[in-house]
Structure 1
Amino acid sequence: MVSEQQSVAWSLSGFGDEIDHDPRVQVAVLQALGADHIEVRSAWATNVAEMSDEQVARLQGILAENSMSVSAVASPIGKVDVSEDVEHEVARLRRVVEVAKALDTTNIRVFSFFHEGREPDAVRDDVLVRMAALARVAERAGVTLLHENEKDIFGDVPSRIVDMVESVGSPALRLAWDNANFVQVGVRPMTEAYETLRPYVDYLQVKDAVMETGKVVPAGHGDGQLPETVAAFARSGYAGFASLEPHLDEAFTLGGFSGPVAFGDAARAFRSLTDAAGVVTGR
């Protein structure tokens, strides 16, 4: 356990649309759990990549009224097949950048492309071309792309993730770390991923999963080595966001849902781990 003198502070956030479609409900629940940040993936059942200027302005107003800041925009960029034309995702990213700037965040979550029917090695060059193009947009815009280790995309296992980040070689391409997603592709996060990937991680997404079934469970209740992960990131001096993405009710291609009660359960499970590691979260 980290002593009180050595404690570190993380900013607690969460995927608001896992709570409710209504951003006012999202904010209320997150604040009740001690969070003063929200990760925006959708509001009023509209994904960030599809929001109108009017919706963005309305959301911005709600967040400002409640003194709620945005930790990241959880975009769907790169969550398409690698056969999609490069410019398709570049154009979508440009729009997401506009949304992120309106919501006053520089963090944008991205993915490294599905490749149905093709082996990862066969699509490597195509993926790198696309990720480099996205990184150039991010560099020019002054934002950071946070690649999530989602299952079934090119960057799902540590070896390909580090290959991608190092090959693109852009300061605008960093990593969002997700323990449950590692478990779902047969990777034990601390044992097989931490040492390789930690230098590139700028953001924590919090969920856990059971190795045998892939079922998502509250933090510390699965095989994602969450207690060890929290302790290791604390020892390393990590002082960024921890964003709750529980997926406790359902999960689907572009997101998941938990509801207010299960989301609260997930937050309390995570708080027990951070307390044990001497990490201060929330307000």
Structure 2
Amino acid sequence: MSKVKLTCFADEISSELDEQLDILEQEGLKYLELRGVWDKNVLDLNDDELDRIQTLIQKRGFRISSIASPVGKYLITDPFEPQLHDLDKAILVAHYFGTPYIRIFSYRLPENEPVEKHRHEVLHRLKLLTEAASRNHVILILENDSNLYGSTDDRCLEILTHCDSKHMRAAFDSGNYVMNGVQPMNEAYPKISPYLDYVHIKDAIQEPRQFVPAGVGEGCIEELLIELKKSKFDGFLSVEPHLKPYLPEASNPERVITAIRALKVLLEKVDQEWE
């Protein structure tokens, strides 16, 4: 049986790397998403800080699953050149930590303007980013986040088919689809699954509109895990809790532990091994 790999957006635990690793180790995880450490975004870390991270994770037996960059989480009308520089930095960091994956987004659109007005520029920019990824032997994983061009299944599919590359793949996020009125398994999964390389684990409900632990909401996480098992998926399931509204009185570590354990329950239920 193929095993999936569990990872986590560990900056939701703490800004301190030691505290992030303590919780992940407690829960049996050996991978983490590198998004934020010491109150700095991954792309703002200097060489000395990257060296500190590398030394600590190697000492404690951890690996980086992806570079969770903010590339593409900008207005489509913002200048493009700085984002190319951001991608260059993300590529260097990905190579340094030995991961092929860099998380990206699909651009915010100006309010009260039709989506079609910006379609060409969105696709053009994402194609250029994909070409840069191909030249540098990394894989961009596109998150279907809210308030972006690719917030729906159809527009995600449009991006993936337009870029048409093994260097632009999908980071499937059920919770985000729920937040955008898309049924994750009935609508999104059949379209996106041929491009799926990575999975973000967060669930959601529409009333009240908030993220919830896996299996609690409308994200069909159990069904997703069953389908992934059928396809012999052996990639990353990345826990991204976002549980502050759902557990307002809990600490950040408690919220992350709740999210990780909810996923573990579902993995056991569907008889899916993990590492």
Pairing 1:81–2:86 present = no
Work out which of the residue numbers 257, 260, 274 in structure 1 matches 2:253.
260
Q: Which residue in 1 is equivalent to 2:263?
A: 270
Q: In structure 1, how many angstroms separate the alpha carbons of the residues matched to 2:46 and 2:245?
A: 27
SS state at 2:162 partner? helix
Q: How far is the alpha carbon of 1:250 from its aligned partner?
A: 6.0
Q: Residue type of the partner of 1:146?
A: I
Q: Which runs of 5+ in 2 are unaligned?
A: none
Q: In structure 1, how many angstroms separate the alpha carbons of the residues matched to 2:207 and 2:235?
A: 31
Pairing 1:41–2:24 present = no
Q: Residue type of the partner of 1:17?
A: D
Q: In structure 2, how many angstroms separate the alpha carbons of the residues matched to 1:189 and 1:148?
A: 13
Q: How far is the alpha carbon of 1:119 from its aligned partner?
A: 2.3
SS state at 1:90 partner? helix
Work out which of the residue numbers 240, 243, 250 in structure 2 matches 1:248.
243
Q: Residue type of the partner of 2:3?
A: A
Instruction: Give CA-to-partner distance per residue, 1:63-113, whole Å, 9 cap, x none.
Output: 111110111010000000001122121111001111111121110000010
Q: In structure 2, how many angstroms separate the alpha carbons of the residues matched to 1:32 and 1:71?
A: 18
Work out which of the residue numbers 267, 276, 280 in structure 1 matches 2:273.
280
Work out which of the residue numbers 4, 20, 24 in structure 2 matches 1:10.
4
TM-score, normalised by the number of residues in structure 2: 0.95
Q: In structure 2, how many angstroms separate the alpha carbons of the residues matched to 1:258 and 1:247?
A: 12
Pairing 1:160–2:176 present = no
Q: In structure 1, how many angstroms separate the alpha carbons of the residues matched to 2:259 and 2:251?
A: 9
SS state at 1:12 partner? strand
Pairing 1:106–2:134 present = no
Q: In structure 1, how many angstroms separate the alpha carbons of the residues matched to 2:33 and 2:63?
A: 9
Matches of residues 18-33 of structure 1 in structure 2 within 5 Å? 18-33=12-27
Instruction: Give CA-to-partner distance per residue, 1:225-268, whole Å, 9 cap, x none.
Output: 111111111111111011110011269xxxxx971111111111
Q: Which residue in 2 is equivalent to 1:146?
A: 141
Q: Percent identical across equivalent pairs?
A: 32
Work out which of the residue numbers 189, 195, 208 in structure 2 matches 1:194.
189
Matches of residues 88-99 of structure 1 in structure 2 within 5 Å? 88-99=82-93
Q: Residue type of the partner of 1:76?
A: P
SS state at 1:210 partner? strand
CA spacing shift, 1:139–1:55, aligned 2, 3 Å: same
Pairing 1:54–2:48 present = yes
Q: In structure 2, how many angstroms separate the alpha carbons of the residues matched to 1:130 and 1:212?
A: 35
Q: Which residue in 2 is equivalent to 1:4?
A: none
SS state at 1:9 partner? coil
Q: How far is the alpha carbon of 1:214 from its aligned partner?
A: 2.2
Instruction: Give CA-to-partner distance per residue, 1:29-57, whole Å, 9 cap, x none.
Output: 11111111111101101001111111111
CA contact (8 A) 2:210 2:245 kept: no
CA contact (8 A) 1:76 1:111 kept: yes
SS state at 1:203 partner? strand
CA spacing shift, 1:93–1:83, aligned 2, 3 Å: same
Q: Which runs of 5+ in 1 are unaligned?
A: 1-6, 252-256
Q: How far is the alpha carbon of 1:116 from its aligned partner?
A: 2.1
CA contact (8 A) 2:34 2:42 kept: yes
TM-score, normalised by the number of residues in structure 1: 0.93
Q: CA RMSD in A?
A: 1.5
SS state at 1:280 partner? coil
Instruction: Give CA-to-partner distance per residue, 1:132-154, whole Å, 9 cap, x none.
Output: 11111111110000000001111
